[in-house]
Chain A
């Protein structure tokens, strides 16, 4: 067992940390305030090989391992959780299923441009009445000559409207329940495929979260991802990987809030001394640091197992559960230690506290993670 980063991982950490500090941090507050999708950040991430970074080079990616990917999401999320999730959704939820389940032709057409960062990807599973109960899909794909006709809608889709390509799940045979769900690859601009309501959210304001609407969209047969009826499995496997990205995002948010707080308590004076001299403050920092470090270790462990080809579903669930709840705890304490200033938008911890909450909800709520973990533990 070796807990030190490899030289590649160290270089990637150094690079993304500098990139995040200089390119992403200065606009994070404005992105939050204006709710504008940070297209500039995406273009810069493409230039530096972050989009598709963990896709093998033969498929257009940079060929980095999953710990490097977790480090990148973490470093970005330290300063801007919106930018972190754009990268996570693109890599984990679009590139990964194409890599695992795509045909060579699909990989050539959709994975290579996405891994190059020329296109942006999204993943659409959730529906108004099918959240955790993903099997209650009502979006329907009917078999027609040469392909399928898709009708229905998806909600809360990350990168929606901004993304060029979408992995979309739909019922092909409602009589079969989860075995009747199939996955498809859709392109923005196809006839009948449109975008609906833009959600107004508590946090990650710059991340585009929208509804997808399908009105008789024709999907050619070659855009069926995996086999017909295997969509639910594809979704679950994809979300296992996605949870590593969200765990990394949560670790980043927590570390970012901790960094801000340590800087603040050293300069904030009350009773003629910096508040960092008070033991109550010191002990709070100790708890924040310990939980953040533990969350990071769980996240890297899950990422390492994925790279090694070992089972990681349970590890990813534990990482996501613990890291997201840690982000909630740490950002809450960060605001508390900033006092009244922490509640204002003058300091970034207010934004970080709002951003943290989503990590306990998307890509499987904490309750879903507990279901996964307990089923592994109890059997």
Chain B
């Protein structure tokens, strides 16, 4: 079985600090990590490989050369092959252009039984690249998977909903996006760390010339999205104190929720 996992290297925004003067995110000293949801996608692929050693797991990413680190980490967790799409021409891509680029790489690597992505990245939070990639490849997709059961040549997936889950069945090949409910990602292991670092070039790097794409389909040129303006919402720190008995304070709190339209009047 051939599995492709798409990952993204992101700044660790779980420990974000904001410059109070400029209102922008402090990037200096913020470590780069593998997008957390992508680790759940990779974990599912590696679980299938644990069950059937003939499974081949390829990890794919687009980004600057620095993203090699993230792919090396995936190899150290047990993935078989890693490819980084890196080219100046790919810079400034929105989700549309990103999906174009990833799809071109997937077509070169074909065929895959299963493509796995994280549900969304913690930097952009769009949750679009997985679904767009499936569209480009003209294969079905199931998003927000909280459990996946693979049988013969089909999958049965529980899609996480706000108030429960939806059970969906589909045939392979398919693209699935993973939620953190899917599993608990493993750590790197010492055997793979030693083996991967002994290899001369554990990550293959592909540029625009390696893909069957026009320059107009990738990067900023291929991106229909235009960012009009970026701003930080003004931080307000209004604190109100209520006094009185517990009942009186509770009543005042409910009143202020109503005033703020947080609950029905």
Contacts and interface: CB of A to CB of B under 8 A. Distances in A.
B197 A48 contact: no
A53 interface: yes
Interface stretch (A8-16, A168-176, A218-226): A8-16
A12 B190 contact: yes
A49 B195 CA distance: 12
Interface in A3-28: 6-8, 11-12, 14-15, 18-19
Interface in A35-55: 47-50, 53
Contact of B187 (A48, A63, A72): A48
Interface string A53-76: 100010000111000100010000
Contacts of B193: 8, 11-12, 15, 62, 64
A278 B189 CA distance: 43
Interface string A68-106: 100010000000000000000000000000000000000
Contacts of B195: 63
Contacts of A63: 191, 194-195
B133 interface: no
Q: Majority SS of interface residues in chain A?
A: helix
A18 B190 CA distance: 13
Contacts of B198: 8
Contacts of A6: 197
Given A7-B197, A11-B197, A49 B76 contact: no
Interface residues on B, range: 10 to 19
Highest count of chain A CB atoms <10 Å: which of B72, B76, B188: B188
A48 B76 contact: no
Interface string B187-213: 111111111011000000000000000
A64 B194 contact: yes
A135 B189 CA distance: 41
Given A8-B198, A63-B191, 17 more contacts: A6-B197, A8-B194, A11-B76, A11-B193, A12-B193, A15-B76, A15-B188, A15-B193, A18-B187, A49-B192, A53-B190, A62-B190, A63-B194, A63-B195, A64-B193, A68-B190, A72-B190
B190 A49 contact: yes
A64 B187 contact: no
A64 B193 CA distance: 9
Contacts of A72: 190
Nearest to A6: B197
Nearest to A8: B197
Contacts of B188: 11, 14-15, 48
A276 B185 CA distance: 37
B184 to A, nearest CB: 10
Highest count of chain A CB atoms <10 Å: which of B73, B188, B194, B195: B194
Contacts of B76: 11, 15
Contacts of A57: 191, 194
A50 B190 contact: yes
A49 B197 CA distance: 15
8 contacts: A11-B72, A11-B197, A15-B188, A15-B189, A15-B190, A49-B191, A57-B191, A63-B191
Highest count of chain A CB atoms <10 Å: which of B76, B187, B191, B193: B193
Interface string B217-259: 0000000000000000000000000000000000000000000
Contacts of B72: 11
Contacts of A11: 72-73, 76, 188, 193, 197
B142 to A, nearest CB: 30
Interface string B65-101: 0000000110010000000000000000000000000
A168 B198 CA distance: 36
Highest count of chain A CB atoms <10 Å: which of B76, B187, B192, B197: B187
B43 to A, nearest CB: 14
Given A7-B197, A15-B76, A64 B190 contact: yes
Contacts of A50: 190
A68 B191 CA distance: 12
A64 B189 CA distance: 11
Nearest to A52: B190
A47 B187 CA distance: 10
B49 to A, nearest CB: 14
Which 6 A-B pairs have CB atoms at the shortest separation, nearest pair first? A49-B190, A8-B197, A62-B190, A49-B191, A15-B188, A62-B191
